[in-house]
């Protein structure tokens, strides 16, 4: 009987882990800031294990630059299509609205004197590209948040 309970518990844990692994979704967006500055965004959406809310991890870069900027994303609870994205180190912020599979909105400088239009369109990724972006985001998060 004890063995059966242990086996059942192990199976439940396996299915719980498998379900959580499947709940993550990664998306790639390409577009422009101010209609002329090419940018690439990588966003990972997954269920928060503590609250079951959706949480986001993200980064973006100006395509002419090789460096990525980590983003802290907050979703508007009253309007789930609106998002606030704050750059690591508060070097800028964005207010974006999701329209279908695209995002539109504005980038705001830290002093709020500059406000530039942002337009992003979702782009398909291969599994290899997804893994590459995941590695880059993990490295960026480590660089920004490691003790």
Determine the 3-state secondary structure of 143 from DSSP: helix
For residue 7, report the phi and psi dihedrals to the nearest 5 degrees.
-60, -45
User: Are 31 and 101 spatial neighbours (Cβ–Cβ below 8 Å)?
Assistant: no
pTM of the model: 0.81
**pLDDT digits over 40-83, tens only?**
999 999 998 888 788 999 999 999 998 999 999 999 989 999 99
Q: Any idea which fold 25-145 has? A: Lipocalin (2.40.128)
How do strand 37-47 and strand 25-33 relate by DSSP bridges?
Answer: antiparallel
**pLDDT digits over 10-24, tens only?**
444 554 554 444 478
């Amino acid at each position: 009987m004890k063995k059966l309970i242990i086996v059942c518990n192990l199976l439940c844990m396996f299915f719980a882990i498998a379900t959580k692994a499947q709940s993550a979704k990664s998306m790639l967006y390409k577009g422009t800031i101010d209609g002329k500055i090419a940018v690439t965004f990588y966003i990972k959406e997954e269920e928060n294990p503590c609250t079951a809310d959706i949480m986001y991890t993200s980064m973006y870069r100006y395509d002419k630059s090789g460096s990525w900027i980590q983003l802290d994303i907050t979703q508007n609870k009253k309007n789930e299509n609106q998002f606030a994205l704050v750059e690591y180190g508060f070097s800028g912020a964005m207010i974006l609205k999701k329209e279908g599979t695209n995002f539109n909105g504005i980038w705001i400088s830290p002093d709020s004197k500059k406000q530039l239009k942002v337009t992003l369109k979702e782009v398909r990724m291969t599994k290899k590209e997804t893994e590459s972006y995941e590695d880059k985001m993990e490295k960026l998060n480590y660089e920004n948040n490691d003790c």
